[in-house]
Amino acid sequence: MNLTRRQKGLLGIAFVCFLIIISWIGLSKFFPESNSFRYLPDRIYRIIKIVFGGDPSGSGLETENVPLELIIAKICAIGILLFGAYKIIQKVFSEQFNLMKASFKKNHLISIGISKKGRQLFKSLKDDYQKQGIAIEKETEHADINAVKKQGHLVIIGNAEDENTLIEAGIKRASTLIVFLENEQTVIEIIESVQDIYDKSKCQNELLCFLHISNPRLIDLVKNTGIHFQNNQIQLRFFNIHKMLARQFFSQIPLDMQKVGKSIADINKIVFLGYGDFAKAMLVQALRIFHTSVENDLQISIYSDHADKDRNYFSEQYPKADKIFPVRFHKFEGTFNEMIEKEEVMNKGDQTLFITAFDQDQANLNAGLELLEKTQNANFPIYVLNAEGKGLRKLINYSTDTDRIKFFGQMEEICNLEFITGQKQDKLAQAIHDDYRKLLSGASSESEKYTSDWLTLSEDAKDASRAQADHIPYKFLLTNKSWPVADPNQVSFSTEEIETLAIIEHNRWMAHRYINGWDFGESRNDELKLHPSLIPWEILSESEKQKDRDTILRIKILLNS
């Protein structure tokens, strides 16, 4: 019979307990004198020796006239031995103890993988929700295991693709599963293993699964396979940490400018130094929402180590992006003077949003400080991606010489449970989608791809509502209104403001379509991605213009909802 790790561990623990019990009974029979309190230390001492392989019948009890000092010394020695025995047993049986504790867990959270992001997620779980979860980690010597354990969470070592490991973590009793891995194929393998467990055992437990998947096409593929409909107890949700950070960053920019009394419309150029995963998501978000004037004249520059390769891949992935804003890729070889001169940041720094977004924090900090040094006479802020280094951020924030450095992307902000589940970030977007469905009232002009409920909606359609929601703060600040809104009932726009914002809204809507590969067509065709409204505002029909005006007018309703 094949025993599981938990069964083997429980047998080992039971054997040690059995050995202690029979040793205690045997000593009471072989040395009746040891039944008295006077010889209790000696009895414990002998049991420890027996557990570690000593002779249970060896050496007699000490004599009555042993000095009190020696008895105290022996008791102290016993304490040291007990502590050592505890540490050894803890080391040997720690995994078994964890498995045993896990078997009593119910309605708990399980997270796959202990990276820096996973560690922060568990910290959020404890600090924000006062709950303890279970982490599954493949590497036995992972650097962050102890940090997670110190927070009171259980760590189970094993491969989460293996059904036994998931069962040991209590997947059939858990309420939430978060798969926080970079390898998307592994993410899919894990959720299939979970599905198999539930199907085989006919488990009726309700499980909410959050999967970290960056590729929107893969998300739609998983949805379309119906994997989460085979068992109604398993519900799939998807999140992309890069996209979520990009949305958070561009929601903060208008507030930063509001604080210093500047208009968001003053920005006419965005410069990215570095083109890592976060920068790629931020570029797409900028194309989606950074529409701040009717002229739509923003320019975007990317400085990366592999400019030609990055340019070709971007053009292949977003072939219509050049219809939104001009995006220029430049080779960055570690020299700043040429870039500073080319982008005219000394003269137009106030009109430029400068972002360092390499994959490594150290590279971003070095670039930010170097740029700060070379632009001492300028006053524009430099946004630096910095996931770690909390102490360093505090140090720089306290320095008046480096107040132009603005950190973003902190792990403690983007890797909390609420951020990952998207409950807060998508709240307004979901309200926009629900409002849109009500307005359609069963109209057949819109495809089901854009009118289904939020949970089954395609990523493209979700992103359409997200982009609309993310642009609302821009609309307020473009009309010199404060954000956030204290009382939505007091929101009002003049006729001139409505017309201006409607034009900007039309440009923003077209940008989202272009990002997803749509183009102009005389009649709408969802298969070929053609739409008759992908034309400049000036030649748009009056009925289509009114739709954009209505979008502005309904902002008050959306904020109230």
Instruction: Give the per-residue pLDDT at 447.
Output: 64
**Cβ neighbours around 325 below 10 Å, total:** 19
**Amino acid identity, residue 311?**
R
**Cβ neighbours around 261 below 10 Å, total:** 6
Closest CA to 515 of 379, 325, 247: 325
Q: Which residues, listed in sequence order, are joined to residue 239 by a DSSP beta bridge? A: 212
**CA geometry: angle 549, 499, 320, nearest 5 deg:** 75
Instruction: Give the per-residue pLDDT at 233.
Output: 83
Helical H runs in 266-360? Answer: 277-289, 307-317, 337-343, 345-348
- SS3 assignment, position 170: coil
Instruction: Give the per-residue pLDDT at 545.
Output: 96
Q: What is the DSSP string of 350-387?
A: GGEEEEE--SSHHHHHHHHHHHHHHTTT----EEEE-S
- SS3 assignment, position 273: strand
Longest Cα pair distance anywhere in the chain, in angstroms?
Answer: 110
DSSP class of residue 63 equals P
Q: Which residues, listed in sequence order, are joined to residue 374 by a DSSP beta bridge? A: none
**Amino acid identity, residue 53?**
G
Instruction: Give the per-residue pLDDT at 379.
Output: 86
Whole-number Å distance between alpha carbons of 373 and 371: 5
Query: What would the two tokens of residue 87 be?
Result: 């540490």
Query: What would the two tokens of residue 22 be?
Result: 């029979």
Tokens 């939104």 found at = 324
Query: Taking the alpha carbons of 371, 372, 375, 380 in that order, is the dihedral positive or negative?
Result: positive
Instruction: Give the per-residue pLDDT at 299.
Output: 95
272: Cβ contacts below 8 Å, ≥ 6 apart:
279, 282, 283, 300, 301, 302, 303, 304, 355, 357
Contacts 24+ apart (CB under 8 A), 405-409: 405/368, 405/369, 405/372, 405/381, 406/256, 406/381, 406/382, 407/383, 408/245, 408/248, 408/249, 408/252, 408/383, 408/384, 409/245, 409/249, 409/278, 409/385
Q: What tens-digit pLDDT sequence spans the chain (561 residues)?
A: 566 666 666 676 677 777 778 777 776 777 676 666 666 677 776 777 666 666 665 555 566 666 666 667 766 776 776 776 666 665 656 667 777 788 889 999 999 988 778 888 888 888 888 889 999 988 877 778 888 888 889 998 889 999 999 998 999 999 999 998 888 999 999 998 998 999 888 888 999 999 988 888 888 888 777 555 455 688 888 888 889 899 999 999 998 888 888 888 889 999 999 999 999 999 999 999 999 999 999 999 999 999 999 999 999 999 999 999 999 999 998 889 999 999 998 888 889 999 999 989 899 999 999 999 999 888 889 999 988 766 666 666 666 566 889 999 887 777 788 878 766 778 899 999 988 888 876 555 566 677 788 888 888 889 999 999 999 999 999 998 888 888 888 889 999 999 999 999 999 999 999 999 999 999 999 889 999 999 999 999 999 999 999 999 999 989 887
What is the SS3 string spanning 339-356?
A: HHHHHCHHHHHHHEEEEE
Interstrand relation of 382-385 and 269-273 (parallel, antiparallel or unpaired): unpaired
CB 384 within 8 A of CB 392: no
Instruction: Give the per-residue pLDDT at 52.
Output: 62
Strands (E), 39-175: 109-112, 134-137, 154-157
Q: Which residues, listed in sequence order, are joined to residue 136 by a DSSP beta bridge? A: 112, 156
Whole-number Å distance between alpha carbons of 437 and 459: 17
Query: What would the two tokens of residue 170 be?
Result: 């209590």
**Cβ neighbours around 361 below 10 Å, total:** 18
